[in-house]
Amino acid sequence: MIRLSAILLVLLVSAPRAFAECSVQGMTLDGALGPKVGIFDSTGKFLEEIPSGELALGRELLACDESLGLVKVSLQSGEERWLDRAELKIGLPAGNQPTKICVQSASSRAADHTEPAVAGIDPKAAKDCVAPKAPAAKPQG
C-alpha cells in the first residue's frame, strides 16, 4: 500500500509539468508586437526588457511552456531566452495554413423578416471560398 501511494504521489507531482509542455515544431519567430519584449527565466520570473531588434527573426522556436505562456527563442547574439508568447508574432508551419478561406455570403432580406431557427451558423447557407491574401511585400532597406 505504501508503495502504491508513493507511485501515485510521484505521478501527481510530475503530471503538471508533463502537461505544461507544448509543441513548437516548425513554428518560427516572425517579430514582436512592441518595441521591447520581456525576458523571463524558466520559472516565469521577469528578468528584464530588451529591444525587439535583438530577436533573431525567422528562426524556429526552441521550446514552449504552456502553463506559463512562454516560448524559448534565440537572440541575434546566439543566447537562448524565454519570452512571453503574447508579445510575439509567431509563424505557423506552411503545411498548417488554410489554402482557402470560406466566408458567409451576403444575403438581402427585409430587415423585419424573422424565421424560426436556432442561434448559430446555418449549415445550408451559401459560402464563398477565396484564396487568402498574400502578405504585403516588405520594403527593402
Residue 15 lies in a domain: no
- Is residue 57 within 8 A of residue 30, CB to CB? The reply is yes
pTM listed for this prediction? 0.54
| CATH number of the domain bearing residue 74 | 2.30.30
- Residue 27 domain-assigned? yes
Tell me whether residue 1 is in a domain: no
Domain count, the chain: 1
Residues in contact with 102: Cβ distance below 8 Å, sequence separation at least 6, in sequence order: 127, 128, 129
Is 12 inside a domain boundary? no
- Per-residue pLDDT band for 18 (boundaries 50, 70, 90) equals very low
Considering just the CA atoms, what is the radius of gyration of the chain in Å?
A: 23
Q: Which residues of 9-139 form beta strands (DSSP E)?
A: 28-32, 36-40, 46-51, 63-65, 70-74, 80-84, 88-91, 101-104, 127-130
Q: Tell me which residue range forms the domain holding 86.
A: 20-93
Structure confidence by residue, pLDDT tens digits, 100-138:
555 555 555 556 666 665 555 555 555 556 566 666 666
